[in-house]
Chain A
């Protein structure tokens, strides 16, 4: 290359580079929200990703319909990935203040969001005027997003865990689909039969990595009547008979019966991938696990049913509950907050619209009739409407979820410091699932020491 040519190329590259990056910068929306003509613009995250074709189309349709109804509001949707709240990315957005105006978070995120100083107190705006169904929303859920008497988010989903099972595999293994296991002993027996089908099928599958192991341990522990932390929240309380029973059950299935498959160290997507491929007989999860199996893991929702969480000698003593909500970024204008609330009310909290538009969802490849998201208080007006619509449009056999719905297990929330504790408990779970000679007492004792140290250091 001759020198002048060299220079030309370099100059071109530089110009191209700068040009590109300038456009990249300018696409970041940072307009104050108020535009000429009195229009209010808000950005909202957790738009479905491209792979979830129907969900994305529904979302976009909702945005269009909402904007038609509210001509002075403009909704800008942002997709933040297949998992709306992937902890490291969520933390990154919080730390950088790059969340959308109205942003998605888990119930367990309240503390983190407040610590980051990024949430706005929306108490005075959360009224019937902005959210018509607000009085029907379960007060317990509002309480979760309240800190020091101030409300910071609007709940949009609430779940509790049960036993999710694959009907096809049940039938193949000669098990009664309508009579799923009610105790852990029955789960073990069923798992043994299912895994005997061969072909790499795991009768029962369980997490042990990426903090999901600790999350499920907590649910299993609740089913035994155990507690993660003591009442005052200062000491670990899982190193007892209940905790040992949880690990013993898993160890018996994994190494006694070899009914849990050989690949362990699973985290969220790994288990659902296997489930979608028809290689998992049972696992514990929320009703929406079947939605993920369909929308992301190429499975069929028709194959799945759900029972209440089993207990050791009868029904579970309690189960783990959790949920999601939308926070509001601090320093929004009152108009923006109101616009955001109206949008959430429309898309998430109105029977017959948005996530409750069962008529639209019915013919789509998406389950209708799941006993969730359980947002409205029992006996409230909105709850009745939602229930009737759900029954009328169900595209799955609601009998499959009747057991779960009609035998409610008491719901317990997640412990304080959940993520850090889950990380510790992961190693107890991976211990019994990967080491045939694992010493359960030692595993729990180590975990207990670690959690105690963690709590002592954190306070």
Chain B
């Protein structure tokens, strides 16, 4: 391992070092190494490793009037008995799936399109990335007040009405809540994904397209047989990252739908954690919900890793 492969550099300088000198030398090297590590390790210990354990412990406790008692599975049964629990999971999964369709496929297609252009490339790239630079609250208030205004004074409704199409109440309508949130979220965040895809596309050797074209493959076929296989790794990685990110849906319901939305149509699991922890004075229940979320995501990643290793 590390100790063996890295030759102690000062060895040449010393003639034949005694065993004890070598040992103290090694100790000193190790100490120096750990001295460089210590800052990050303390931060990890305090803000990652310890909270992980603390979260699990908290989920089996209840703190009332300054006294903490062990309550077994009580927090879990309480959280699961809350009817919003299932609604929140349903909503979150729905958002995740919609975001995969829209927030995942659209940036890829946009990147393919941009990659074909020989002109205005820089301009288009800046445009796509611009919304990423807005503070999230700014972008969402823009959507809430202007784009999604349910009356015909709203931007989207004004456009629809002028085209003679039926208008919508957007976030206010239970069926449109999630699609409206996905649209806003995609607009806000797609810039990053487009840039990464663009870089990946530029690494595809041109000969592959050449060969495919000679075999008589059309544009769609070329995308299917060349572009996608060639960017498979990055596509898979981003899919994973995006699913984990969308499962944490929080600020969109908080700002666009004032929290739970119409008949709970906007309640997400993350919002439920927030509500239990900070509105209902139930940090223990919120911790239990966090543990459940971790288990679900862990199960998901296990399946994902299983599938992706099988394929390779």
List residues of A whose CB falls within 8 A of some B CB. 87-88, 91-92, 94-95, 112, 114-118, 200, 208-211, 262-267, 270, 419-420, 423, 426-427, 430-431, 434-435, 443, 446, 449-450, 453-454, 456-458
Q: Given contacts A210-B258, A262-B169, A458-B78, is CB(A435)–CB(B283) below 8 Å?
A: no
B67 at the interface (CB under 8 A from A): yes
A419 with B264: CB separation less than 8 A: no
Q: Does B77 contact A (CB under 8 A)?
A: yes
Q: Which residues of B contact A265 (CB under 8 A)?
A: 171-172, 257-258, 261-262
**Chain A residues with CB under 8 A of B78:** 457-458
Instruction: Evaluate contact between B82 and A454: CB separation under 8 angstroms.
Output: yes
Indicate if B274 sits at the interface (CB-CB under 8 A). Answer: yes
Find out whether the CB atom of A423 lies under 8 angstroms from the CB atom of B260.
yes
- Give me 8 other A-B pairs in contact (C-beta within 8 A), A91-B277, A116-B281, A267-B258 excluded: A116-B65, A209-B258, A262-B150, A263-B150, A264-B262, A430-B262, A434-B174, A457-B78
Q: Given the complex, which residues of A lie within 8 Å of B77, measured CB to CB?
A: 457
A-B contact pairs, 10 of them (CB 8 A): A91-B277, A115-B63, A117-B67, A209-B261, A210-B259, A264-B262, A431-B262, A431-B263, A456-B81, A458-B78
The answer to the question of B205 belonging to the interface, with a C-beta cut-off of 8 Å to chain A, is no
B263 touches A427 (CB 8 A): yes
Q: Please, how many angstroms separate the alpha-carbon atoms of A270 and B257 in the complex?
A: 12
- B164-200 CB mask vs A (1 if < 8 Å, else 0) is 0000010111100000000000000000000000000
Contact yes or no, A117 B65, CB < 8 A: yes
Give the CA-CA distance A446 to B263 in the complex, in Å: 10
Known: A263-B150, A427-B263. A116 touches B66 (CB 8 A): yes
Judge whether B279 and A87 touch: CB under 8 Å: yes
Contact B262 A434 (CB under 8 A): yes
Q: Are B281 and A91 in contact (CB under 8 A)?
A: yes
In the complex, which residues of chain A have a beta carbon less than 8 angstroms from the beta carbon of B174? 434-435
Determine the residue in chain A with the shortest Cβ distance to B257: A265
Q: Which residue of A lies closest to B275 (CB)?
A: A423
CA distance A263 to B83 in the complex (A): 27
A43 CA to B151 CA, complexed, in Å: 47
- B258 and A453 contacting across the interface, CB-CB below 8 Å: no
Residues of A close to B172: CB separation below 8 A: 263-265, 434
Q: Which residues of B contact A210 (CB under 8 A)?
A: 258-259
A-contact 0/1 string along B248-269, CB 8 Å cutoff? 0000000001111111100000
On chain B, the residues within 8 Å of A420 by CB distance are 280
Q: Which residue of B lies closest to A420 (CB)?
A: B280
Q: Which B residue's beta carbon lies closest to that of A451?
A: B83
Pair A114/B150 contact, Cβ less than 8 Å: no
Chain B contacts for A419, CB-based, 8 A: 279-280
A208 to B261, CA, bound (A): 9
Contacts of A262 in B (CB 8 A): 150-151, 169
Bound form: Cα–Cα A88–B271 in Å? 12
Pairwise interchain contact B274-A88, C-beta atoms closer than 8 A: yes
B73 sits at the interface (CB 8 A): no
In the assembled complex, which residues on chain B have CB atoms less than 8 Å from the CB atom of A114?
65
Kindly state the separation between the CA atoms of A456 and B82 in the bound complex, as whole angstroms. Answer: 10
Whether B151 lies near A263 (C-beta < 8 A) is yes
Q: Which 3 A-B pairs have the closest CB atoms?
A: A117-B66, A209-B258, A88-B278
Determine if B150 and A264 form an interchain contact, defined as CB atoms under 8 angstroms apart: yes
- Which residues of chain B come closer than 8 Å to A88, judged between CB atoms? 274, 278-279
State A452–B281 Cα separation when bound (angstroms): 19
B119 within 8 A of A: no
Q: List B residues 73-96 near A (Cβ within 8 Å).
A: 77-78, 81-84
The residue in chain A whose Cβ has the minimal distance to the Cβ of B83 is A450
Q: Given that A263-B151, A264-B172 are known contacts, is A423 also in contact with B279, CB under 8 Å in the complex?
A: yes
Report A129 CB to chain B, min CB distance, Å. 30
Q: In chain B between 112 and 168, which residues have their CB closer than 8 angstroms to a CB of chain A?
A: 149-151, 153
**Pairwise interchain contact A427-B264, C-beta atoms closer than 8 A:** yes
Chain A contacts for B67, CB-based, 8 A: 117
Residues of A within 8 A of B257 (CB): 209, 265
